[in-house]
Structure formats: C-alpha cells, structure tokens
Amino acid sequence: MAGDRGSRAVRRMNEDTLVLTDTYFTDKGKVVRKKLVRLYPETHSWTNTRISTEGRFSQFLYRIIPEAEGSRLEFTGSQVLPGKKPPALKLAALARKYVKEDSQSWRNLAKAMEEDLGGRSKPKKQRR
C-alpha cells in the first residue's frame, strides 16, 4: 500500500481471481482502492486491474522471471486517465508520481514480508 498506515482486505472470487481492497491514510485523509487481481501460477504472473474510481480500468501486468540463482519482476503498466490526453509535461509529472507511489508500495510489501518471515529467508551460517 502506498501509505505507512493501512490495511488490505482480500476477497477470493474463485481459485485464480481476487478482489483486493486497500485502505491507507495520507496527509489528505483516507484513501480506499479496489483492485481485481487475476493469478496465472503456471507462468508466475498476474494482472491487477483497478476497479475503484481513481484510475478505473488501469491495468498492470506482473511476471516473475527466473535468473541465475534469483529472479526479477517484470512490470508493464497501462494507466487510464479520463478525458483528453494531458500535455507531455503533465504526463511526465504523473509518471514520476506513479513511480514514487508504486515504489513505496513495493518497499512496504518487502518490509512486511521480511517482518513476517522473521529473517527465515536468510541463509543460515554453517558451523565449523
């Protein structure tokens, strides 16, 4: 989620479709965002389609790509804006804003996962 304080409700629609409702707080007040997420486990990918008012029908595609001994996340985003296409400078400003928000969301997720795992994902030191 974009803010440091927030919650997520997960409603399973069927075996590969979820509705996520994120609620978080900013200096401007409470923000609620709903997303329809479709999972594709066979390709380690998923789609995220916004269904709340802000950014409605914007869609984001994610895929985990194996690499050597790790992996990387491939991301493609399609932001839907109502009305006329904004001028280039406005689009650039929006892109920077979305990158900042999305990056913060991923940092928050990584932090939460690290706390949940309690360091279990780190390799254990070998005894001699």
Residue-wise pLDDT for 29-40, tens only, equals 898 889 999 999
Domain containing 104: what range? Answer: 6-117
- Across 28-54, b (16+ Cβ under 10 Å) vs e yields eeebebbbebbeeeeeeebbbbbeeee
Residue 125, domain member (yes or no): no
State how many domains the chain has: 1
Region 84-96 average pLDDT: 90
Q: How confident is the model at residue 2 (pLDDT cuts 50, 70, 90)?
A: very low
Report pTM. 0.69
Residue 123, domain member (yes or no): no
